[in-house]
């Protein structure tokens, strides 16, 4: 049965909203790049595997950043993959630096930009130095806001700067996603000196902005709820409120609630199934039950069960130095 949303939209609008053309173009490009390998099991099977992986959200693994950020579904899938792959960091209670979290992000996306990781860390650290330690949960929810709504936040930063400068909010010029990336966010010194901006005036500007960013901004009603609780706020205070808002996390739908962040029964079951297949691992644990009860901070590396057929390509063994940074963090 077709959903009410599907019935209410013309075909071309529905396809555009779901970014079907983006996935078709990507599938064809991969087909052409790997046509010799794909010819062994057929084009029909390739397209089946490809779109199954899109539905499951595993199509973004080890892909370039330009593809990962190309659609809202890709961004949500990347957030979910990052959480599922590295939630043991939170389980173990480890605290990591911004650089270490960036190394984890690069394991899933080798060219992930450092700037985005820095901006996410700034939401958590505020006035603290960028090399301070952060919990997995704090970084993850800040990263979710910064990554998923990156273009929206660039425009919000521009509006905030204009309000600090005393400009008329009715004449604020909102930059596009490309031009907005070159505008610097307000510094913490400026925000502290002026104690932020008036919340009601800030919301009037953001309300128009949300209309322009229909697929990449938090629900306007939830933004209004965040701003209605205070009279004045700073830019980073606004970002912190967004990252901690339960309703915004639910609306985005990529991550579980904070209380359930360390629980993923489906992944645990899959890992147990894979660990059983490793020769000698189960026997050694059975022979030494005391050792099996000890907490392990370095679980066995297991090949990802998610990687679909269309990702079967050679991986360049060279790195950009992120391994060196990880090694330094372990010493």
Q: In this structure, which long-range contacts are made by residues 226-230, counting pairs with CB atoms below 8 Å and at least 24 apart in sequence?
A: 227/199, 227/200, 227/202, 227/203, 228/199, 228/203, 230/199
Q: Give the mean pLDDT of 128-138.
A: 91
**pLDDT of 31 higher than 50:** yes
* Other beta carbons within 10 Å of 90: 17
pLDDT at 293: 40
Beta bridge partners of 286: none
pLDDT of residue 242: 96
Q: Provide, rounded to the nearest whole percent, the portion of the chain with pLDDT above 70.
A: 71
Per-residue pLDDT for 179 more than 60? no
| pLDDT tens-digit series, residues 302-313 | 333 334 444 444
Neighbouring residues of 73: CB distance < 8 A, sequence distance ≥ 6: 18, 19, 54, 57
| pLDDT in the model for residue 265 | 79
Alpha-carbon span 160 to 202, nearest angstrom: 8
Tens digits of per-residue pLDDT, 138-170?
A: 999 999 999 999 999 999 999 999 998 888 655
- The chain-wide mean pLDDT, for the chain, equals 78
Rounded Cα distance, 282 and 19, in Å: 45
Determine what percent of the chain is predicted with pLDDT higher than 90.
50
Rg (Cα) of the chain, in Å, rounded?
Answer: 22
Q: How far apart are CA 266 and CA 17, in angstroms?
A: 30
Compute φ and ψ for 131, nearest 5 degrees: -95, 10
Q: Which residue's structure tokens are 């394991």?
A: 107
Residues with Cβ within 8 Å of residue 210, at least 6 apart in sequence: 217, 218, 220, 223
Q: What does the block give as tokens for 244?
A: 């901690």
Least reliable range by pLDDT among 42-51, 128-137, 173-182, 262-271: 173-182
Q: What is the pTM of this model?
A: 0.73
Confidence of residue 273 (pLDDT cuts 50, 70, 90): confident
Token digits of residue 248: 């915004």
Mean pLDDT, residues 243-272: 87
- Residue 328: the pLDDT is 46
CA 292 vs CA 15, 71, 92, 264, 282: distances in Å: 51, 43, 16, 21, 10
Residue-wise pLDDT tens digits, 39-49: 888 999 999 99
Determine the average pLDDT of the residues in 85-91: 89
Task: Quote the pLDDT of residue 7.
Answer: 52
Taking residue 60's Cβ as centre, other Cβ atoms within 10 Å add up to 26
What's the pLDDT at 64? 97
Residue 113 in tokens: 């930009």
Note the Cα 222 to chain centre separation in Å: 20
> Quick check: 68 and 109 in contact, CB under 8 A?
yes
DSSP category for residue 309 = G
Residue 205's alpha-carbon distances to 23, 167, 202, in angstroms, are: 34, 12, 5
Cα separation of 118 and 114, whole Å? 6
pLDDT of residue 3: 54
217 secondary structure, DSSP code: S
SS3 107: helix
Q: Answer with the residue of higher pLDDT: 16 or 63.
A: 63
């Amino acid at each position: 049965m077709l959903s009410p949303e599907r019935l209410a939209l013309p075909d071309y609008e529905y396809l555009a909203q779901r970014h079907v053309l983006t996935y078709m173009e990507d599938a064809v490009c991969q087909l052409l790049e790997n046509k010799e390998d794909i010819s062994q099991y057929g084009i029909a099977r390739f397209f089946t595997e490809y779109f199954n992986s899109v539905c499951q959200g595993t199509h973004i693994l080890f892909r370039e950043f330009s593809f990962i950020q190309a659609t809202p579904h890709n961004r949500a899938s990347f957030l979910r993959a990052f959480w599922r792959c590295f939630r043991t960091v939170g389980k173990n209670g480890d605290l990591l630096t911004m650089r270490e979290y960036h190394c984890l992000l690069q394991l899933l996306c080798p060219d992930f930009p450092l700037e985005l990781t820095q901006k996410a860390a700034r939401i958590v650290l505020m006035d603290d130095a960028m090399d301070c330690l952060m919990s997995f949960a704090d970084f993850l929810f800040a990263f979710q806001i910064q990554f998923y709504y990156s273009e929206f936040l660039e425009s919000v930063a521009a509006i905030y700067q204009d309000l600090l400068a005393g400009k008329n909010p009715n004449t604020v010029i909102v930059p596009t996603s490309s031009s907005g990336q070159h505008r610097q966010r307000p510094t913490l010194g400026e925000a502290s000196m002026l104690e932020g901006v008036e919340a009601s005036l800030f919301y009037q500007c953001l309300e128009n902005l949300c209309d322009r960013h229909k697929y990449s901004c938090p629900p306007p009603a939830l933004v209004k709820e965040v701003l209605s609780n205070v009279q004045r706020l700073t830019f980073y205070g606004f970002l912190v409120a967004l990252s901690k808002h339960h309703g915004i996390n639910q609306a985005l739908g990529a991550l579980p609630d904070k209380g359930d962040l360390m629980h993923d029964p489906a992944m645990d079951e899959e890992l147990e199934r894979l660990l059983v297949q490793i020769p000698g691992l189960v026997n050694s644990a059975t022979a030494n039950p005391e050792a099996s009860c000890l907490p392990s901070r370095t679980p066995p590396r297991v090949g990802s069960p998610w990687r679909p057929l269309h990702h079967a390509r050679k991986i360049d063994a060279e790195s950009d130095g992120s391994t060196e940074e990880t090694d330094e963090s372990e010493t």
